[in-house]
């Protein structure tokens, strides 16, 4: 079955700098890759997603890239702000249309 | 658009007691999911409903967990009897349908502590 690995587990960046979180997946049939942001005491919030027929997608300061050949996808956050501090999860949708989740990355924005 | 509603937000019980969680999905969403999230981990799917039918409950510990979605809208998840390892956040999510490219939208969960 599908397996998703996410790195790093913790990422600390200076406010205003960029942050990059990387995920790899194992099942080449996976074709939908969402990213979720989870703040303390809240449920995961969808922030961006990408389909397998697209290599890159942007939404203001957030972008996701997908390399189907290498089976990895990444989240890029530019001009980081204190409110970006949270746990970020990547996921891949398997052939049963179920999400397989990464272990999460705790993003810390230093003032 | 109202989001996914869950209650209660917090619950503390002793082991071997029973507990129930309630979820109201986004209006019009046919697919409903219950996840278990243990501290420091990603969500783990427990059960998926399509309308009022079960699509997948392969990871639901059926000796103690049960779930229903009788009218295809609200859902309840029950644990009886609870074990210490059931301490977790129970998340409900919904989507328009079960197919590919259908984003899942989450509620804020119920945090369960077992004493």
Where does the pLDDT of residue A24 fall: very low under 50, low under 70, confident under 90, or very high at 90 and above? very high
Question: Taking the CB of residue B73, how many other CB atoms lie within 10 A of it?
Answer: 17
Cβ pair B79, B65 in contact under 8 A: yes
Residues A51-71, mean pLDDT to the nearest whole number: 94
- C-alpha distance across the termini of chain B, in Å: 37
Average pLDDT, chain B: 94
Identity of the residue in A41, A44, A45 whose CB atom sits nearest the CB atom of B43:
A44
Taking CA–CA distances from A90, the nearest residue in chain B reads: B42
Where does the pLDDT of residue A71 fall: very low under 50, low under 70, confident under 90, or very high at 90 and above? very high
Residues B24-28, mean pLDDT to the nearest whole number: 95
The yes-or-no verdict on residue A95 having pLDDT over 90 is no
Where does the pLDDT of residue A96 fall: very low under 50, low under 70, confident under 90, or very high at 90 and above? confident
Task: Tell me if residue B86 falls in helix, strand or coil.
Answer: helix
DSSP structure class, residue A90: E
pLDDT of residue A53: 87
Q: Which of A27-31, A77-81, B19-23 has the lowest mean pLDDT?
A: A27-31
Residues in chain B within 8 Å Cβ distance of A102: 42
Q: Residue B37's closest CA among A63, A6, A22, A104?
A: A104
The yes-or-no verdict on residue A97 having pLDDT over 90 is no
Task: Tell me if residue B113 falls in helix, strand or coil.
Answer: strand
Residues B92-99, mean pLDDT to the nearest whole number: 88
Residues in chain B within 8 Å Cβ distance of A45: 106
Residues in chain B within 8 Å Cβ distance of A97: 98-100, 102
Where does the pLDDT of residue B97 fall: very low under 50, low under 70, confident under 90, or very high at 90 and above? confident
Q: Do B4 and A41 touch (CB under 8 A)?
A: no
For chain B, percent of residues with pLDDT exceeding 70: 98
- What is the C-alpha to C-alpha distance for residues A111 and B107, in angstroms, rounded to an integer? 30
Cβ pair A43, B9 in contact under 8 A: no
pLDDT of residue B12: 98
Where does the pLDDT of residue A60 fall: very low under 50, low under 70, confident under 90, or very high at 90 and above? very high
- What is the C-alpha to C-alpha distance for residues A95 and A99, in angstroms, rounded to an integer? 10
**What is each CA distance from A19 to A22, A58, A109, B42, in whole angstroms?**
10, 14, 9, 20
- Count of CB pairs separated by less than 8 Å, A with B: 51
The yes-or-no verdict on residue B101 having pLDDT over 90 is no
Residues of B with CB under 8 A from a CB of A: 4, 40-45, 48, 56, 91, 93, 98-109, 111
Taking CA–CA distances from A10, the nearest residue in chain B reads: B40
**What is each CA distance from A44 to A53, A79, A104, B81, B83, in whole angstroms?**
25, 22, 11, 28, 25
Identity of the residue in A36, A43, A97 whose CB atom sits nearest the CB atom of B99:
A97
The yes-or-no verdict on residue B99 having pLDDT over 90 is no
- Return the residue in A99, A100, A104, A105 with the most chain B beta carbons within 10 A, the one to mutate for interface testing: A99
- What are the tens digits of pLDDT across the range B50-93? 998 999 999 999 999 999 998 889 999 999 999 999 999 999 99
**What is each CA distance from A13 to A9, A88, A107, A111, in whole angstroms?**
13, 14, 8, 9
- What is the C-alpha to C-alpha distance for residues B2 and A18, in angstroms, rounded to an integer? 33
Residues A22-50, mean pLDDT to the nearest whole number: 95
A104 in contact with B at a CB cutoff of 8 Å?
yes
Task: Tell me if residue B95 falls in helix, strand or coil.
Answer: strand
């Amino acid at each position: 079955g599908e397996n998703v690995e996410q790195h790093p587990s913790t990422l600390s960046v200076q406010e205003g700098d960029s942050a990059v979180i990387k995920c790899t997946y194992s099942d080449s049939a996976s074709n939908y890759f969402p990213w979720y942001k989870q703040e303390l005491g809240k449920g995961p919030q969808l922030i961006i997603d990408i389909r397998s027929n697209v290599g890159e997608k942007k939404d203001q300061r957030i972008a996701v890239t997908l390399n189907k050949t290498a089976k990895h996808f990444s989240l890029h956050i530019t001009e980081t702000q204190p409110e970006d501090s949270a746990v970020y999860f990547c996921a891949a949708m398997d052939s049963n249309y179920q999400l397989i989740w990464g272990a999460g990355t705790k993003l810390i924005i230093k003032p | 658009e109202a989001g996914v509603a869950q209650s209660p937000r917090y619950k503390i019980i002793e082991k071997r007691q029973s507990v129930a969680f309630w979820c109201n999905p986004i209006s019009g969403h046919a697919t409903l999911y219950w996840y278990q999230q243990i501290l420091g981990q990603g969500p783990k799917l427990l059960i998926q409903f399509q309308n009022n039918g079960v699509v997948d409950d392969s990871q639901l510990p059926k000796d103690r967990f049960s779930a229903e979605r009788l009218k295809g809208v609200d859902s309840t998840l029950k644990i009886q009897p609870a074990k210490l390892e059931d301490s977790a956040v129970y998340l409900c999510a919904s989507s328009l349908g079960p197919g590919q490219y259908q984003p899942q939208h989450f509620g804020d969960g119920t945090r369960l502590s077992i004493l």
